[in-house]
Amino acid sequence: MFLESFRHLIEIEALKKQNQQNLVQISSENKRISDLEERRTKTRLQIDNLKLEEKNLKLTETQQQIDVSQARFKKLNSQLALAITEKEQIAFENQLKLVKNEMENLETLYFSNLEKSEAIQNEIENSNEFLVGSLASLEIIKTEAVINISTENKIIENRNLRVQSLTELLQPSLKSLYLETEKKFKPKRPVSYLIDKKCSECHMLADSMLKNSLEEGRSIEFCPSCSRLLIPETAKIY
């Protein structure tokens, strides 16, 4: 009496398995979007860090220090020209040496940091270009995804209509047991096939009585080991 229902169950399960593939497709469409959005967020953070790094080079401050040293150097030079005694002269010359040394160090620092700053600004520029370009790609991907996802959903919907009408055709007690088992096993398969006395999911060996009764459609059976609803493999060929 259950053989017809078993055949419906086989089709129901096959349709649900096909739905899984469409769901995988939908999630991969969504992943395309979230991956790109994630990269964009990372790039924005990188730009912030680069800007901070550039600011920490303190180029303007170094430039100001150089200006101060230069002014001091100039002043000392004019003082040297006015020096009267040899002692004064030596003192100014020593100070000039110190200031010149300081100026050279500052200039070395300035140019090395200037190079770093230019490299950082290049990197920022590239990152900004990526943000602009990827915004356009993102819009295209989103438009494509909306269309693809809606196509996938339509396929699933149609299949679910068929699943629903097949479910209605199931023998009532088999139907309620199937739906119960499905809830219990979700997202795993709630059914298994009895193939050569063996459960296709857990490979438990069933006894001949269970096998015969199931294959002749006389009873509803569950695998004694994994508790799945058993479908006789012979129902496939009826």
Residues that bind Zn ion (CB under 5 A): 199, 201-202, 204, 223, 225-226
Residues 6+ apart with CB under 8 A from 125: none
For 68, 181, 193, 223, the CA distances from 203, given in Å and listed in that order, are 87, 19, 10, 10
User: CB of 195: closest distance to Zn ion in angstroms?
Assistant: 11
3-state secondary structure of 231: strand
Residues 6+ apart with CB under 8 A from 138: 33, 36, 37, 40
Residue whose CB is less far from Zn ion, 29 or 201: 201
User: CB of 222: closest distance to Zn ion in angstroms?
Assistant: 8
User: CB of 226: closest distance to Zn ion in angstroms?
Assistant: 3
Residue whose CB is less far from Zn ion, 6 or 92: 6
User: CB of 176: closest distance to Zn ion in angstroms?
Assistant: 21
Residue whose CB is less far from Zn ion, 174 or 194: 194
Give the whole-angstrom CA distance, residue 98 versus residue 73.
9
Residues 6+ apart with CB under 8 A from 156: 19, 22, 23
Residue whose CB is less far from Zn ion, 97 or 188: 188
Residue whose CB is less far from Zn ion, 155 or 204: 204
User: CB of 49: closest distance to Zn ion in angstroms?
Assistant: 55
What's the sign of the alpha-carbon dihedral 138, 143, 148, 154? Answer: positive
φ/ψ of 216, rounded to 5, equals -90, 0
Residue whose CB is less far from Zn ion, 89 or 227: 227
User: CB of 26: closest distance to Zn ion in angstroms?
Assistant: 31
Cis peptide before 187 (omega within 30 of 0): yes
